[in-house]
Structure 1
Amino acid sequence: MKLWGGRFQKTTDRLVEDFHSSISFDQRLYKQDIRGSIAHATMLGKVGIITPEETRQIVQGLEEILAEIESGRVAFDVAAEDIHMNVEQLLAAKIGAVGKKLHTARSRNDQVALDIRMYLKDEITAIRLLLKELVETLLALAEQHLQTVMPGYTHLQRAQPITLAHHLMAYVQMFLRDMDRLTDCYRRTDVMPLGSGALAGTTFPLDRQYTAELLGFAAVSENSLDAVSDRDFAVEFCAAASLIMMHLSRLCEEIVLWSSGEFAFIELDDAYSTGSSIMPQKKNPDVAELIRGKTGRVYGDLIGLLTMLKGLPLAYNKDMQEDKEALFDAIDTVKGCLMVCRPMLATMTVRRDNMAKAARGGFTNATDVADYLAKKGVPFREAHEIVGKAVFYCLQQEKTLEEMTLEEYQKLSPHFSDDLYEVIGVEHCAAARKVRGGPAPEAVRQAVAAARRLLARY
């Protein structure tokens, strides 16, 4: 018989039972559900709603159920609908009528809100750790490649010489922001809703603060209607997860490009590549491509949650059962991508010579020639035009700016002199940009040190 079946005269249709049940996916909340129930029973005993002996029996029974689930000895019942009623049903079967007292002063509405918040807190902590490991890998790579010159791009066209270290540090900044967003999301998730009941609290004299302390929550919800219907924290997490995936996708797009024959900047380790079933020569960056592809599903999880919540009246509605699969998928996808991305980057081979060769092509030092003239007193807009003409001349003559003679330069402007050649080599161009946040080795070292200080907070 259903735990809520008192007013019903018919059993639930089997089709409805399967459609209605969430145990197939919310069973992953079993630890949080049992921890929350132990805390609830402990609080009920503290305030005298149940006796100390009843508390002891309930807590012991729940601990035994937890051990049985973790050892694989429990088969969940679809007819019991969800993890909450499955656990309660198991408890009643184990300790009898006393087990039925556990749900005193509690609803599944505040219970599920509690479980999801506890679960998400744990997962945010795990994802932050994975992000930290990824950032540490990027920092180590940056330190190895402070002098590795490569072209920086705009519009996917070669623009100016930078270093690989500088390029990687751009992603460090992205992932540090992601960690910060998760920390902020954690703060709003860290609110204990238990005691809100179905929507209107309870007439029992609960000690909600005590329950929050037992469960490690920093705050207690202030409105029972909001507490059971709020899923902002889940939406916020999925938004943060979408940004993480967007950053991973951008990085992986560059890995895909860089590993192509057209760029040949890197070679991925065999362990993080695949081959072709028909073309023997192929080495495909499938890991990077899959991460790029999986970004869309996390975006979908976010949109699904927002759409599900749009227009819902207060308080709880069954629509909200749809929160879990989207949230779980976003968590699983982000974690899986982070776990495989870090070793893919750590094991790749960087082809420094190809990067340097590319940096010397495409007139990436043209801005430095214009800056040279500006430092000689030529207005920058005039310098820009002069160098543009120099580039056009080089294209006609199939030369680089370094290959132009001083005589050729002086036909364009009398301000050019021999010292020009000291400043237009691509290595110098990158090293000369010492401004904070720039690609010069000392600037990148400072950025690495600053990132490590930030990372130490997590």
Structure 2
Amino acid sequence: MTQPLWQKSDIKIDAKIMQFLAGDDVLLDREFFLHDIAASQAHVEGLANIGVVGADEAIALKRELDALAEDFRSGAFVLDDRYEDGHSAIEARLTERLGDAGRRVHTGRSRNDQILVATRLWLKEQLATLQTHCRAIAEVCLARAAQPALPLPGYTHLQRAVVSSTGMWFAGFAEGFIDNALRARQTCAWIDANPLGTAAGYGVNLKLDREHTTRTLGFARMQISPIYAQLSRGKFEMAVLEAIASALLDLRRLAWDLSLFTTAEFNFVQLPSEYTTGSSIMPNKRNPDVIELLRASYASVAAARTEIEQLLSLPSGYQRDLQFSKGSLFHGCRHGLGALALVPDLLARMQWNAPAMRAAIEPAMYATDVAIEQAAAGVPFRDAYRAAAETAGSAGEGRTPEDSLAARTSPGAGNDLRLDELRSRLEQLDV
């Protein structure tokens, strides 16, 4: 390992302790490394603006930072256990190539605001990906909801309840993922604040050009208080995981539906073969493993959020405990976004079994229609309800699922899905 940034001549380094302190940090920093380099370039420009770094030095530093980013992308530079972390690697590389100019690059900043800004940029990237996935899911759901509707049993308490349709099913998840995309956008607006220049949480005795770094790095605003910049670590990460978890909650319920609908007992849905696997012992089996793991994905994100939450039982100011938040954050985001990425193709290609769905619609499922028709004709609803309950077994006489859906004219129901309104909400996310 190279000399730590904090190494002093009278300090003896114990290798086992250093290994414990570093942990997986340098490996996890690979995820944030390019953002750390981008923030370092903005910091160099800011230092040049206030005369701490000379113009020629700034040009050289930015040139070497560009080269480091390219070497990292190509694999010519590997971030590994030669370094304590990604920050140390950047400074070591610049010092090796540029001598004193490289030693100047850390002026006015700490590893605390360095990881804060790299993580913040990375979080914005994750939220953009989340919004993309949620929008793609909503687009597929809207497209399939617009297709001719097939009658589908509607369930409450997992018991057959009323006539529903494939259009209503898809429209429900379309609206859910539109809201999830909106939440991703709103969360991004909430965290879109630049912490670079807050140093170790108390500012520095330099008039840093924080307005420049804010503009250069594409932040909407500056995170003003150095103390709040430290207080926000973990809090903002949790908000991003919560936005992902919100989408995965809807995905979990969608996956549960498909888990049920693909059973032989329901037989409503056939999945593309790529989304199923075989049994190691039972030749007759095809298992909906992908659906089951999509259903389970919420747990990974919720666990990541909980781990970070448990770390935040801390006083103000930076504490090393927060190092452990990076692994949770990375794995939670990677798993959650990876699950959502699979959903648009799955929904586009799944096939409904119309005869099985129609056969599952029994006469009693029209009883609610009968009660409401009588109430609309002037019978008090509770009386109409009791009368319909007594004749529920024959409620379907002379009725078809299509009749029931055609009569369902309340906004959002079978004959008034309002897909144009939902699409308009989705398009508003571009504004």
TM-score by length of 2: 0.95
Please say which structure displays the higher CA radius of gyration: 1
Aligned residue in 1 for 2:331? 329
| Displacement after TM superposition at 1:450 (Å) | 1.5
2:130–2:244 Cα contact (<8 Å) kept: no
Find the residue that maps to 2:62 and give its secondary structure. helix
Aligned residue in 2 for 1:47? 50
Counterpart Cα distance in 2 of 1:110 and 1:129: 29
Counterpart Cα distance in 2 of 1:164 and 1:214: 48
Residues 135-180 of structure 1 show CA distances to partners (whole Å, capped at 9, x for unaligned) of 11111111124x2111111101111111111111111121112111
Find the residue that maps to 1:159 and give its secondary structure. strand
Gap change, CA 1:2 and 1:376, over 3 Å in 2: closer
| Displacement after TM superposition at 1:255 (Å) | 0.6
Aligned residue in 2 for 1:402? 396
Do structure 1's residue 111 and structure 2's residue 114 form an aligned pair?
Answer: yes
2:238–2:308 Cα contact (<8 Å) kept: yes
Do structure 1's residue 454 and structure 2's residue 429 form an aligned pair?
Answer: no
Aligned residue in 1 for 2:409? 434
Q: Which runs of 5+ in 2 are unaligned?
A: none
Counterpart Cα distance in 1 of 2:396 and 2:53: 86
Aligned residue in 2 for 1:414? none
Counterpart Cα distance in 2 of 1:25 and 1:362: 59
Do structure 1's residue 138 and structure 2's residue 127 form an aligned pair?
Answer: no
Residues 83-120 of structure 1 show CA distances to partners (whole Å, capped at 9, x for unaligned) of 11111111111222210100011111111110000011
Find the residue that maps to 1:165 and give its secondary structure. helix
Q: For residue 451 of structure 1, what is the amino acid of its counterpart?
A: L
| Displacement after TM superposition at 1:372 (Å) | 2.5
Find the residue that maps to 1:5 and give its secondary structure. coil
Residues 23-75 of structure 1 show CA distances to partners (whole Å, capped at 9, x for unaligned) of 01122111100000001001111221111011011111111111111110113
- The correspondence for 2:168, drawn from 166, 173, 191, is 166
Counterpart Cα distance in 1 of 2:169 and 2:281: 35
Counterpart Cα distance in 1 of 2:9 and 2:315: 25
Aligned residue in 1 for 2:305? 302
Counterpart Cα distance in 2 of 1:376 and 1:40: 73
* Map 1:65-104 → 2, pairs under 5 A: 65-104=68-107
Report the count of equivalent residues: 424
Q: For residue 323 of structure 2, what is the amino acid of its counterpart?
A: Q
Find the residue that maps to 1:301 and give its secondary structure. helix
2:44–2:61 Cα contact (<8 Å) kept: yes
Q: For residue 454 of structure 1, what is the amino acid of its counterpart?
A: R
Find the residue that maps to 2:207 and give its secondary structure. coil
1:131–1:175 Cα contact (<8 Å) kept: yes
2:248–2:340 Cα contact (<8 Å) kept: no
Aligned residue in 2 for 1:417? none
Q: For residue 406 of structure 2, what is the amino acid of its counterpart?
A: A
2:4–2:84 Cα contact (<8 Å) kept: no
1:288–1:341 Cα contact (<8 Å) kept: no
1:142–1:164 Cα contact (<8 Å) kept: yes
Counterpart Cα distance in 2 of 1:294 and 1:18: 31
Counterpart Cα distance in 1 of 2:187 and 2:201: 24
2:408–2:414 Cα contact (<8 Å) kept: yes
1:148–1:352 Cα contact (<8 Å) kept: yes
- The correspondence for 2:199, drawn from 193, 197, 200, is 197
Aligned residue in 1 for 2:230? 228
Counterpart Cα distance in 1 of 2:325 and 2:182: 24
Find the residue that maps to 2:278 and give its secondary structure. coil
| Displacement after TM superposition at 1:248 (Å) | 0.6
* Map 1:248-397 → 2, pairs under 5 A: 248-310=251-313, 312-359=314-361, 361=362, 363-391=364-392, 394=393
Counterpart Cα distance in 2 of 1:242 and 1:193: 25
| Displacement after TM superposition at 1:346 (Å) | 1.2
Counterpart Cα distance in 2 of 1:362 and 1:315: 66
TM-score by length of 1: 0.90
| Displacement after TM superposition at 1:275 (Å) | 1.4
* Map 1:408-427 → 2, pairs under 5 A: 421=398, 424-427=399-402
Do structure 1's residue 245 and structure 2's residue 248 form an aligned pair?
Answer: yes
Which aligned segments of 4 or more residues in structure 1 are displaced greater than 6 angstroms?
A: none
1:166–1:439 Cα contact (<8 Å) kept: yes
Aligned residue in 2 for 1:409? none
Counterpart Cα distance in 2 of 1:192 and 1:284: 47
| Displacement after TM superposition at 1:7 (Å) | 5.9
Name the % identity.
31
Counterpart Cα distance in 1 of 2:421 and 2:395: 36
Aligned residue in 2 for 1:413? none
Counterpart Cα distance in 1 of 2:232 and 2:111: 14
| Displacement after TM superposition at 1:9 (Å) | 2.1
Gap change, CA 1:77 and 1:334, over 3 Å in 2: closer
Find the residue that maps to 1:93 and give its secondary structure. helix
Counterpart Cα distance in 2 of 1:303 and 1:35: 30
| Displacement after TM superposition at 1:362 (Å) | 5.7
Find the residue that maps to 2:277 and give its secondary structure. coil
Q: For residue 407 of structure 2, what is the amino acid of its counterpart?
A: A
| Displacement after TM superposition at 1:2 (Å) | 2.0
Counterpart Cα distance in 2 of 1:8 and 1:221: 37
Aligned residue in 2 for 1:154? 156
Counterpart Cα distance in 1 of 2:27 and 2:377: 73
2:151–2:358 Cα contact (<8 Å) kept: yes
| Displacement after TM superposition at 1:223 (Å) | 0.7
2:363–2:395 Cα contact (<8 Å) kept: no
1:151–1:158 Cα contact (<8 Å) kept: yes
Q: Which runs of 5+ in 1 are unaligned?
A: 395-399, 404-420
